[in-house]
Amino acid sequence: MMHMFHSISRLTLAIGSSALLLASASVSATTPDATFTNYVQHCATCHGMDRLGGMGPALLPENLARLRKPAAVAAITDGLVATQMPAFGELLSADEIAAITELIYTPIVPSPKWTETEIRASRIEHVDPSTLSPTPVFDADPWNVFLVVETGDHHVSVLDGDKLEPIHRFQSRFALHGGPKFAQEGRYVFFGSRDGWVTKFDLWNLTVVSEVRAGINTRNVAVSPDGNYVAVANYLPHTLVLFDGDLNLLKVLDVVGKDGVTTSRVSAVYEATPRKSFVAALKDLPEVWEISFDPEAEPIPVGVVHDYRMREGEFVPGYLNVRRTVVEDVLDDFFFTQDYSLLMGASRNGTGQVVSLDARRKIADLPLDGMPHLGSGITWDWQGRRVMASTNLQAAEVTVIDIDSFEVVRRIPTRGPGFFLRSHENSRYAFVDSMMSPEAKHILQVIDKHTLEVVHEIFGTEGETLAHIEYTRDGRFALASHWEFDGAIVVLDAETLEEVKRLPMRKPVGKYNVWNKVMRDEGTSH
């Protein structure tokens, strides 16, 4: 505890001139020491002495990147509805709140560590797995259950996909991100939070089994279909962390480039079933990493993939070690072909590359503009060709690409840049949002997958977001998110496109159907 106290004290002093300016402008209550005392008195119990989080989220610039400073000031002043964050407006002056805000947006130097020791110490086993029922404890079809992530009050709802009614609701970690990942035919679900927590949930028993904190600022998780391997992509620290299916630590891979010096954040990690491997996108290095979880994997020779630690003629085991593919530009996001031998990657400057994981090099360019959100791409057959389509976070279009020739076959104009594109193999339609456009974020557009044209529009309330579709198992209904604190799941008939019913939810973000995810339906993310 003493050690933490010192580190935060140094930190507070590190606020430097900005905090001092604030202090001199008003009262001594905003000197670095006073701010530190205020932090310890009012914030540390929940957010940790070291700002790495506790009952409340981590308060570091990396974790707060999505919260603008005025919103942070408002949260401290007024509290946050439906959370345990109280209002400090009566206890602290505006200057004191401003100084605390500066503190929490100040990086910790050197970066905080989250090593094997911290990871192992963080693991929590909530129930003894041997006490759990081997069959579902509910009547609903376990293949047609949905999970809805509600970030308004950090809960997850479980829906019966036939009756379209909730059957359970539980508290999640703060700020889940990325799709939950299903294993063992949908019995187990793994969630990742932006604060690094991984939660293993037994959907059949409706209970959290175990949790572990894999990092301080995390992107997403990936899981092998048998549930025996879990990979976690971290921004902070620069690590890719591997666990067994009970969330016991297997290995921490420090993300260091081929030069042995440059480290990188991990943008995302995906599971490639036919290859029995995880494939990771790196944010700061022009490399794609593949890690086999096959104990029989071929050893990795230095001649195939250079590694700064290896000498000519040496091999490392293929199992749980890194195969690098060096690419021409950093790739932020991926989409895989069906057999996972090729990936289509997008880089920040809007260029795309097709990379062969077997040849371990770029094999073609992709004519992409803007920042396609390939992670939410979908595929279908169009005029005898297999096509893939993706939204774009910067351009108001859905781009449709022939997966064999890598040609763009159509750019479908949309109302605005969007995040999610969704369909189902039984549906002729695909739904796209325009979430990134303030004027059009309430409009869902419906694309006909045969004509590649927008054929219908569904309007929500102006100024409020309507986005993210997931279909029922059979593709009859499409569930959309009215993405507000007092929001709802809006159930649409996938044929008539009429609204069927609404289920009130607290800012429902993503929703995930067991069947569609486990069977890797072509219309949804995996």
State how far the alpha carbon of 214 is from the alpha carbons of 210, 324, 471, in Å. 13, 22, 31
Tokens of 380: 């279908």
Distance in Å, CB of 523 to ligand DHE, minimum: 11
Query: Which residue's CB is nearer to ligand DHE, number 47 or number 511?
Result: 511
Distance in Å, CB of 479 to ligand DHE, minimum: 11
Contacts of 159 (CB under 8 A, 6+ apart): 145, 146, 147, 148, 165, 166, 167, 489, 503, 511
Distance in Å, CB of 313 to ligand DHE, minimum: 38
Tokens of 181: 């990942």
List residues binding ligand DHE (CB under 6 A): 66, 151, 177-179, 220, 268, 333, 375-376, 419, 509-510, 525
Query: Which residue's CB is nearer to ligand DHE, number 35 or number 524?
Result: 524
Tokens of 438: 């303030």
Burial 52-86 (b: 16+ CB within 10 A, else e): bbeebbbbbebbbeeeeeeebbbbbbeeeeeeebe
Distance in Å, CB of 496 to ligand DHE, minimum: 24
Distance in Å, CB of 244 to ligand DHE, minimum: 19
Query: Which residue's CB is nearer to ligand DHE, number 52 or number 221?
Result: 221
Query: Which residue's CB is nearer to ligand DHE, number 49 or number 331?
Result: 331
Query: Which residue's CB is nearer to ligand DHE, number 275 or number 441?
Result: 441
Distance in Å, CB of 320 to ligand DHE, minimum: 20
Residue 356's CB is within 10 A of a number of other CB atoms, namely 15
Instruction: Outline where 296-340 has alpha helix (H).
Output: none
Spatial distance between the Cα atoms of 128 and 282, rounded to a whole number of angstroms: 36
Tokens of 270: 């995906």
Spatial distance between the Cα atoms of 5 and 19, rounded to a whole number of angstroms: 19
Compute the half-sphere exposure of residue 359: CA atoms within 13 Å on the CB side of its CA.
10
**Look-up: residue for tokens 């620290």?**
237
Distance in Å, CB of 389 to ligand DHE, minimum: 15
DSSP 374: G
Query: Which residue's CB is nearer to ligand DHE, number 53 or number 178?
Result: 178
Query: Which residue's CB is nearer to ligand DHE, number 30 or number 63?
Result: 63
Distance in Å, CB of 179 to ligand DHE, minimum: 3
Query: Which residue's CB is nearer to ligand DHE, number 36 or number 483?
Result: 483
SS3 per residue for 239-253: EEEEEECCCCEEEEE
